[in-house]
């Protein structure tokens, strides 16, 4: 018991330390730029305290429940030797983890309201969910057969970029954002655990090189299917853009603070709804296919309960502490019409929110273990946070300057494809996965609010065409920074090796 308390105390300290960048950014802007204290300061501080407890509880639950069961299932399927069952499990797990994803539901509803019904919310969600199911199944086959992730990424993103040439402007930002929001705070660790467990159970596979990559594929394929859906929807002609009404944009606002007990209970039930499809898939395959009990069931159940409660506390704390002040600051900066401060806020809030992402903390820790000294968790998180900060800043610049989303996205992924061919093979799958874990519960609402807020307040911008897309930039540039780091380190090592081997 004392050991559990010590571990949980350590998680609390790490969670508080990870939240400090957000506090420094928000506090610095409030004091030195906006020069005013936020309303309801006590409530905000209470909310941030709940966030710390939520992150610590969530991470502890992952270690007790999610990671072990994901790894054990992969090991059991590998021993069973049935690729067909393993592939079906991957499809069901991928679909179940996305169909009830709150961030995807929010983006789909925003798209339906802003497009005045041309884009159907349910259709969009089903397309994305089945795309993720298909691609997780494909990723499982890739690990089982030992294929390199490099060519999957090169061929896949070449297809993504090629379709972007033909996709209507109304769908491009939404398509890339839809890919970014498929990977949430619960699904990323479970899918990552499945990949790592499968790679570790097959002889000749590397956990780092082969085990990662499922998250990357889950981000990529929805971009293709949603763009194809957009081509179909907008092929009938009609007005390409329109001025969204305030009523239509009301659906694009971030969630309000749960001021009542009913609202808070509603959040808890939504968390349960998000996790229950995953639990159902796991139990069905565990008991009906593998026909064996869950190892250490009490520990796994307790872990999943901690994940749900931690996620619930995390989201409630964000709504009380971070979302109101973040959205309010974005609006105030836009009204002040000082472009430099908007860029600075975009950069710093992108870096700070990424440092606090629980999914990134969890995956970064597992990646550091798999890397065996090549990377450490702090380096991974700082590289990813820097990439998100750069990406959001570039995305905000595109929005302010009015540049075409097509060219920015095509340019960004062309750079990614080039680096994929140059980077050391051990980093490729991890880099793409890290691009997927950046867009979760902390980052998505703030980025979405900033993008739509700018698009509605800058003359000549269309909320549907210009408001979406920042999430896409937040996914692209962490891949770039992680790969550039690995290329640089590899170059330095080779240069030192040549220098050490050369005669005096």
- Indicate whether 16 belongs to any domain: no
Quick one: pLDDT at residue 282? 83
How many separate domains does the chain show?
Answer: 1
Structural domain contains residue 33: yes
Residue 14 lies in a domain: no
pLDDT along the chain (504 residues), means of 10: 65 72 78 73 78 80 78 76 80 80 70 79 87 89 86 87 83 76 69 81 81 84 89 65 36 42 64 76 84 82 84 76 65 75 87 80 78 77 91 89 80 90 88 78 66 75 70 86 92 84 58
Does residue 317 fall inside a structural domain? yes
Q: Note the pLDDT of residue 239.
A: 43
Output the pLDDT for position 418: 92
Amino acid 59: pLDDT: 76
Tokens 């957009």 belong to 230
Closest CA to 323 of 255, 413, 224: 255
Question: What's the pLDDT tens digit per position in 328-378?
Answer: 676 677 777 678 888 888 898 888 888 877 778 777 877 887 777 677 778
Q: Is 463 exposed, middle or buried (0-12, 13-18, 19+ CB in 10 A)?
A: buried
Nearest-angstrom CA–CA distance, 496 and 354: 33
- Contact predicate 472/387, CB 8 Å: no
Distance from C-alpha of 469 to C-alpha of 471, rounded to nearest angstrom: 5
Residues spanned by the domain of 321 = 24-234+245-501
Q: Is-above-0.75 flag for pTM?
A: no
- For residue 441, the model assigns a pLDDT of 59
Helix intervals (H) in 29-148: 41-61, 67-80, 83-99, 102-114, 121-145
Token match 């896949």: residue?
A: 156
Looking at the domain assignment, is residue 176 inside a domain? Answer: yes
Q: Report if residue 19 sits inside a domain.
A: no
The pLDDT score that the predictor gives to residue 425 is 86
- 239 inside domain: no
Q: How many CB atoms lie within 10 A of CB 169?
A: 17
The H helix count followed by the E strand count for the chain is 21, 0
Cα–Cα distances (Å) from 84 to 91, 141, 294, 424, 499, in that order, read 11, 9, 21, 32, 51
Residue 240 lies in a domain: no
Strand, helix or coil for residue 373: coil
pLDDT tens digits, residue range 146-204? Answer: 888 888 888 888 898 888 888 887 787 778 777 766 766 666 777 777 888 888 888 77
> How many Cα atoms sit within 13 Å of 33 on the Cβ side?
21
Instruction: Provide the CB-side half-sphere exposure for 288 (13 A, CA).
Output: 8
**Residue 488, number of CB atoms within 10 A of its CB:** 10
């Amino acid at each position: 018991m004392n050991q559990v308390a010590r571990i949980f105390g350590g998680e609390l300290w790490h969670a508080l330390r990870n939240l400090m960048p957000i506090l420094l950014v928000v506090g610095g802007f409030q004091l030195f730029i906006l020069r005013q204290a936020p309303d309801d300061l006590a409530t905000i501080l209470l909310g941030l305290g709940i966030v710390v407890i939520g992150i610590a509880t969530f991470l502890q639950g992952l270690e007790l429940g999610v990671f072990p069961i994901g790894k054990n299932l992969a090991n059991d399927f590998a021993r069973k030797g049935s690729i067909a069952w393993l592939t079906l499990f991957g499809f069901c797990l991928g679909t179940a983890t996305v169909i009830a994803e709150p961030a995807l539901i929010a983006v789909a509803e925003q798209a339906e309201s802003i497009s005045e019904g041309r884009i159907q919310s349910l259709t969009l969600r089903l397309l994305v969910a089945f795309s993720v199911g298909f691609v997780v199944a494909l990723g499982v086959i890739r690990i089982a057969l030992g294929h390199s992730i490099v060519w999957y990424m090169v061929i896949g993103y070449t297809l993504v970029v090629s379709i972007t040439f033909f996709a209507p402007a109304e769908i491009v930002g939404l398509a890339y954002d839809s890919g970014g929001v498929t990977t949430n705070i619960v699904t990323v660790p479970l899918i990552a655990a499945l990949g790592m467990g499968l790679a570790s159970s097959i002889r000749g596979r590397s956990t780092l090189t082969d085990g990662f990559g499922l998250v990357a594929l889950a981000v990529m394929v929805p971009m293709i299917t949603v763009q194809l859906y957009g081509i179909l929807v907008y092929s009938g002609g009609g007005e390409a853009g329109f001025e969204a009404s305030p009523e239509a944009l009301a659906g694009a606002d971030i969630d309000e603070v749960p001021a009542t007990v009913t609202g808070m209970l509603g959040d808890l039930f939504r968390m349960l709804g998000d996790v229950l499809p995953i639990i159902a898939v796991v139990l069905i395959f565990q008991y009906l296919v593998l026909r064996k009990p869950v190892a250490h069931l009490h520990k796994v159940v307790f872990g999943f309960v901690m994940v749900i409660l931690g996620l619930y506390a995390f989201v409630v704390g964000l709504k009380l502490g971070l979302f109101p002040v973040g959205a309010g600051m974005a609006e105030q900066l836009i009204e002040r019409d000082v472009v430099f401060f908007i860029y600075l806020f975009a950069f710093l809030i992108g870096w700070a929110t990424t440092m606090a992402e629980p999914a990134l903390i969890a995956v970064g820790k597992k990646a550091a273990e798999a890397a065996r000294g090549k990377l450490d968790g702090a380096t991974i998180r700082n590289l990813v946070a820097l990439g998100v900060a750069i990406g959001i800043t570039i995305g905000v610049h595109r929005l302010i300057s009015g540049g075409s989303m097509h060219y920015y996205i095509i340019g960004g992924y062309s750079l990614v494809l080039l680096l994929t061919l140059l980077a050391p093979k051990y980093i490729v799958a991890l880099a793409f996965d890290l691009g997927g874990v950046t867009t979760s519960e902390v980052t998505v609402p703030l980025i979405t609010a900033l993008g739509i807020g700018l698009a509605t307040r800058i003359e000549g911008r269309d909320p549907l065409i210009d408001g979406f897309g920042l999430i896409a930039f937040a996914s692209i540039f962490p891949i770039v920074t992680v790969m550039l780091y690995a290329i640089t380190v590899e170059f330095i090592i080779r240069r030192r090796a040549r220098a050490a081997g050369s005669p005096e």
